[in-house]
Structure 1
Amino acid sequence: MATNNCQQLEYIGIFDNAFFFKGPEDDNVGCDALQLDQYNLLEYFIRSQDSKYLIFNHDGFHAQTLSVQGKNKPECKFCIQVYNNDESTGKGLEVMLYVNKEGKKMVVSCKDMDNIYAEEKELPGTIGEDDHGAVFTMKSTATSNEYLLESYKYKSRYLAFETHRDTGNIKLILRHKHEDVVDEPCQLRFSPR
């Protein structure tokens, strides 16, 4: 057997000076599919540059100041599930972010190139093309415990905090960022507790 690093292939033979292989018939996992790393689930509080905490409430993901008691609520603690834990490429980790709310996983997902929404879903073991809206590439910055989270679906779009001009509320959005430019709203701070 030979492999293409994604699925097992069976050698068939040489015909017309070409090598032929047969793949498994019931395996529909493509080479670009991401696999869940069952040993790598991280739990963090996510904070903005001005130390507001990301939370999930009835109308989505927002940042706000929290008291010590407020940080004990499950909607403040984000779980980061790693897929394809291969940091050797230097590209970062592919992850899904979610909070547990009343026994349900509320996943951070891209609605479009600018907006984020909460999607109730179970985490898949394999992520195919349809689920890429909920996948982010987590990249470390020069500052300890600060990360950039680039949308897997919308390249050069990063999770960021934005203050709503009418209400003053801070919400989570996708923001365009040039690769070499420092963009503080895109730099998220992660703290274990």
Structure 2
Amino acid sequence: MAASHCDPSIPIRFQDICQDSFYFTETETDADLQEDDFCKCGREAKTFMIESNERKFLILTTDGTLEAQDLDQVERGRSGCKFNIQEYLDSSSQPKMGKPVMLYASKDGQKMVVCCRENGDVYPKPMDLPTNISGEEHEAMFYQERISCGRCRFESTMYKNHFLAFEPDQNIPGLYKLLLHYKGETEVDESCNLTLTTK
């Protein structure tokens, strides 16, 4: 196997494994670390249905809103129930609990990306997934933390300790909506635990 020669004076740090390749980043200066904190991984996005503890499924409705509904087996085959999770690489020097991801569904050929606002609202936004993101936070970037097989939490990169969760809509009985829910670091809160299923 041929080996390439690198300048030994430039420190490097292991980043990730992606498509059977090892990735390293140069850590020569602090400025280099901050240039692109998130970089889109070469792996294809994986497709899941997102389910709450109440057995309700997240859907992108025809009018472009995010809701959680009871769905039978046939209804689960609709395209609005399928959400893609795109992984990113994180060049931050601070260790995180999960991997950075963006979630999106497709509507009329357009990616509708799950985004959040300061007031806790979560909404779909038409967006082409960026390849590189400067900074440590983004409205559509979440840290996906695995809890157990098929179960995980999604923490907002913009709002620390705020996670995607389903909560009842106070205005419409029986309707659940997706929003950001605060959870303390030592607090046990099952509402933030979501289930990912492939069918």
User: TM-score normalized by structure 1?
Assistant: 0.80
CA contact (8 A) 1:156 1:178 kept: yes
Please name the residue that 2:53 is paired with. 49
Select which of 158, 161, 164 maps to 1:156: 161
**8 Å contact kept, 2:137–2:157:** no
1:166 has 2:163 as partner: no
> Which of the two has greater strand per residue?
1
SS of equivalent residue, structure 1 residue 182: coil
Ranges in structure 2 where 5+ consecutive residues have no aligned partner: 1-6, 14-24
Please list, as runs of the form range in 1=range in 2, the aligned pairs for 1:37-116 lying within 5 A after superposition.
Answer: 37-57=41-61, 58-84=63-89, 89=95, 91-116=97-122
Could you say if the C-alpha distance between residues 42 and 52 of structure 1 is closer, same or farther in structure 2, counting changes exceeding 3 Å? Answer: same
Aligned partner of 1:53: which letter? F
**Over residues 16-65 of structure 1, what are the superposed CA-to-partner deviations in whole Å (9 max), with x where a residue is unaligned?**
xxxxx8x9xxxx98345201112152111000001110001115111001
Runs of 4+ with deviation above 4 angstroms: 3-9
Aligned residues, how many? 174
Is it true that 1:145 corresponds to 2:150 in the alignment?
yes
Find the aligned partners of 1:152 and 1:53 in 2 and give their Cα distance.
Answer: 24
Structure 2 Cα separation of the partners of residues 35 and 134 of structure 1? 14
Q: Which entry has the higher C-alpha Rg, 1 or 2? A: 1
Contact 2:100–2:141 (8 Å) recurs in 1: yes
Deviation for aligned residue 1:144: 2.3
Q: Normalising by structure 2, what TM-score?
A: 0.78
Following the alignment from structure 2 to structure 1, what is the Cα–Cα distance between the partners of residues 137 and 106?
19
Q: Secondary structure at the match of 1:129?
A: coil
RMSD: 2.5
Residue in 2 that maps onto 1:135:
141
Structure-2 separation of matches of 1:33 and 1:85 = 6
* 1:82-101 superposed Cα distances (whole Å, 9 cap, x missing partner): 00179xx5621100000011
User: What is the rounded CA distance, in whole Å, between the counterparts of 2:134 and 2:107 in structure 1?
Assistant: 25
Calculate percent identity across the aligned residue pairs: 30
